[in-house]
Chains A and B, each alone.
Chain A
Amino acid sequence: MAGEVLAAAQEFGTSLGTGVKAYSIDLPYTADAYTAAVEELIRKVNPALVVFGHTYQTRDYAPKLAARFGRALIGDVIAARPPVFVRQVFQGKFNAEVRLVGDGPHFVSIQAGAWRAGSAPVETFSPTSSTSRQVAEAPFREAARAVDLTAADIIVSVGRGIKEKENIPIVEALAHALGAELAASRPICDAGWLPMDRQVGSSGQTVSPKVYVAVGISGAIQHLVGMKGAKTVVAINKDPDAPIFEVAHYGIVGDLFEVVPALVEEIKKAKA
């Protein structure tokens, strides 16, 4: 998401009346190594604001870096009027406007997809020395996924609203009626109610089916990034304020235990 970070930084620079310089760090990643390298860079160029993309890597080291400068990282920012930055809190139920206080450097990371990618020259920074207490091995993937959700035309996905493992057959019936693959949000797989390879979201699969039916899924950002590419999103949730309705093309606000069986009946009628 380098392009998005460049675009956001340019926007922040314009409103703060300052220039923007972009750097990439020439170093294999570990938290210690990157913290020390970016610290060295910051002490050299003395910026008012340091902007990151809110990636797993940023989450791993930028809070440490910010703390070293006596600052907190304003993470996962979705909009900004510097020095005020907007981020989601309470799992997307509210937005918080956060104002930076005191002198720079301040630290901000932006949410993927919140800015349209731009471009700018990027300088490579090589730190003078590098040490790390963490020793990192090569990244790996688990054994091939048994389920390829990315190939599915229709996905029925289930979240915490299903309440108990014993209720999973209710959404299974809907998936069956639609000829859909069954998927889930993270908590369902964490609980072992469905296998991990049926998980959609930032730590699971990224899907873009013709139709994505989200059942009892509130729509935390970690889930939305995995499915917002769907052509048609259908949401069924009892909470009218659930963030999932923000991305839904069709929605039913109601009790999934009534709505889903009714849907199955209607689909059967339509197919008959």
Chain B
Amino acid sequence: MKIAVAIKQVPVRDSPLRVNAAGTWIEEGNLSFEINEPDAYALEEALQLREMHGGEVIVLSAGPARVSQAIREALAKGADRGIHVESSTVDTLGVGHLLATALRTEAPDLILTGLQSDDLGYGQTGVVLAELLGLPHSTIIMQVEIQPGKVRVKRELEDGWFQHIEMPLPAVLTIQSGLNKLRYATLMGIKKAKTKEIKVLSAADVPPASAVIEKLYAPEKNKQGQIFDGDANTAAAKLVEKLRFEARVI
């Protein structure tokens, strides 16, 4: 079974983010990057499926040169080889076209990606990929069961509801965080990753973006609440007074 995992590299969680001089994106200069967490779960699911069914796991990512680091991390965790589509586009549809072009020659049985990215948060890349590749898909997947020629998945719905869906392979699934337990790269894995192949593709032509970010800004503060200052003890005392005499729960 050939499984492709599309990953994105995003700023490390809780990085201090600033808007760039043009006011259209964040200042990336001093940031550290990591694999988008939902994509890490997709990678883990792919590795577990390979352990169960055999085959190979290909990890691919579209982005600037720094993205090769994220691919290397995935290889250290156990992916067999990588594909890096060098591109600076952040447009969802554009990225979809780049990944689809790279995947057409690979023709995987299953394509996984995280349900959304921690930066743009569109949650569309997997679904767009399915459309561009002409494959069936399902989103926000909690469980993957491979059957002969098809896949049965547990899809998360709102408010604690779930649903089982079956579709023929090849298919595209977007993976929900938390469906498995992430593994760490072992020292051996990190060593092995250095010898694994990362194919670098230059970006194919992509259609012009149908939507562009014109402006990025911190949302206007709408704080109507009271923030208690001072050291922890002083602030705690003030808060307890409110809980006691205003909210009346103490």
Contact = CB atoms under 8 A, between A and B. Distances in A.
A and B held together in a complex? yes
B177 interface: yes
Interface in A115-130: none
Interface majority SS (helix, strand, loop, mixed), chain B: mixed
A98 B139 CA distance: 24
Given A101-B210, A250-B242, A94 B160 contact: no
A246 B232 contact: no
Interface stretch (A18-26, A40-48, A58-66, A165-173): A58-66
B148 interface: no
Contacts of B247: 210-211, 231-232
Interface string B216-250: 11110111111111001101110110111011011
Interface in A200-242: 202-206, 210-211, 231-235, 239-241
Interface in B137-175: 137-140, 155-168
Given A102-B210, A231-B247, A252 B227 contact: yes
Contacts of A243: 219
A75 B122 contact: yes
Given A93-B17, A139-B157, A63 B127 contact: yes
Contacts of B201: none
Contacts, number: 258
A137 B164 contact: yes
Contacts of B13: 160
Contacts of A145: 160
A72 B92 contact: yes
Nearest to A153: B249
B218 A94 contact: yes
A259 B244 CA distance: 17
A82 interface: no
Contact of A270 (B17, B158, B224, B250): B250
Contact of B225 (A32, A96, A249): A249
Given A73-B122, A89-B119, A101-B212, A59 B239 contact: no
A52 interface: no
Contacts of A76: 121
Nearest to A240: B227
Contacts of A61: 127
B170 to A, nearest CB: 11
Contacts of A91: 118, 121
A254 B213 contact: no
A133 B223 contact: no
Nearest to B121: A89
Given A192-B181, A206-B159, A134 B211 contact: no
Interface string B172-203: 00000110010000000000000000000000
B249 A154 contact: yes
Interface residues of A, number: 96
A135 B165 contact: yes
A101 B209 CA distance: 7
A261 B162 CA distance: 39
Interface stretch (B57-65, B79-87, B105-113, B128-136): B128-136
A263 B158 CA distance: 35
A102 B208 contact: yes
Nearest to A247: B225
Given A56-B156, A90-B26, A259-B232, A72 B211 contact: yes
A211 B208 contact: no
Given A93-B17, A239-B14, A245-B225, 11 more contacts: A30-B165, A67-B96, A89-B120, A98-B213, A106-B210, A133-B167, A134-B165, A141-B160, A203-B160, A255-B232, A262-B232
20 contacts: A56-B157, A60-B140, A60-B155, A64-B127, A64-B130, A64-B137, A67-B93, A68-B131, A71-B93, A75-B122, A75-B123, A94-B219, A134-B138, A139-B161, A233-B225, A249-B225, A249-B226, A266-B240, A269-B240, A270-B240
Interface of B: 11, 13-14, 17, 19, 26, 91-93, 96, 118-124, 127-128, 130-132, 136-140, 155-168, 177-178, 181, 207-219, 221-229, 232-233, 235-237, 239-240, 242-244, 246-247, 249-250
